[in-house]
Amino acid sequence: MLNVVYAEIIKLKNTKIYWLILIALIPVCLWSILAVLPKVGPNGTLVPFDLQELFYRQGMIVTILGPLLFSLITGYIVAREYQERTINQVFSYPVSRVSFLFIKLLVVLLLISITAVLSFVIVVSSMLLVIHQLDMTMLWLGLKMNLLICVLSFGTIPVAAAISMVWKSVIPTAVLGGCVSLIAVICELGHSMNVILFPWLTPYWPVRNLAQGLAEMGPNPYVIPALVILIITFVVSLSFCIFYYKRADVHSGT
């Protein structure tokens, strides 16, 4: 099984997937650089660096770009065999189709985690270069936020996988991800609590919890309904993926 996981990762070695992740991290780098530049308050004194604000902005960038980036990654990993007409070889491997599907989703989760971890490291490194010390409590909150982003972002991945299977192309998932990212920009700029009810925006929940100075503070009453909706979305779409993969015929990829 580990050999199959390794093989799936090796398939991405000569692709542009890793470049896609690095490009997505550029906004995080730019924001970190701008955030650590000296700022002067209205009274002429230097404004202290705020790690909480840095993590909040980093979380917003990841949750806005994430739907597009993660949909593209999922679409490419799932639809690649169809586009290259090698799906018949994949279905002939001595590994069950369901296991092979789970391996693909595991690779997607790994890439999501890499994206979140790298953006987290960029923020931490930026602060260390300036103040040479960190608030460990805030560091833990930032780490927890990124871990939750990874888990919650994975909740909608089977939807992108299902679309890639049916259309056998990465284009529909790219359109889906682009539309969701556009919606995310509009919704997150409004800072509303109920936006997390939309499954692709549920990852904004831990980000918003880290925010400060917003009009609506306190516990978000929509967390439980949002998690229920996300779980239902995950289970239904994953069930469809399993059913479709198990019932798919071995063919030439057309």
Which pTM value belongs to this model? 0.90
Give 133's contacts (C-beta < 8 A, 6+ positions apart).
none
Q: Tokens representing 84? A: 């290259």
Average pLDDT over all residues of the chain = 86
Kindly provide the b/e burial profile for residues 92-116, where b requires at least 16 CB atoms within 10 angstroms of the residue's own CB: eeeeebeebbbbbbebbbebbbebb
Instruction: Please state the domain extents for the chain.
Output: 7-37+46-247
Of 6-20, 25-39, 240-254, which one has max mean pLDDT? 6-20
pLDDT bin (cut points 50, 70, 90) of residue 52 is confident
Rg (CA), the chain: 20
Q: How confident is the model at residue 252 (pLDDT cuts 50, 70, 90)?
A: very low
State mean pLDDT over 215-231. Answer: 86
pLDDT in tens, 11-27: 888 788 888 888 888 88
How much is the pLDDT for 53? Answer: 82
Band (pLDDT 50/70/90 cuts) for residue 254 is very low
Q: What is the pLDDT of residues 34-43, one digit of tens each?
A: 766 666 666 7
Nearby residues of 212 by Cβ (< 8 Å), 6 or more positions away: 52, 53, 56
Quick check: 135 pLDDT over 90?
no
Does residue 251 have a pLDDT over 60?
Answer: no
Lowest-pLDDT choice from 87-91, 199-203, 218-222: 87-91
Cβ contact 202:220 at 8 Å: no
Distance CA 228, CA 206 (A): 16
In this prediction, residue 45 carries a pLDDT of 67
Residue 62: exposure state from Cβ atoms within 10 A (0-12, 13-18, ≥19): buried
- Whether the Cβ atoms of residue 35 and residue 53 lie closer than 8 Å to each other: yes
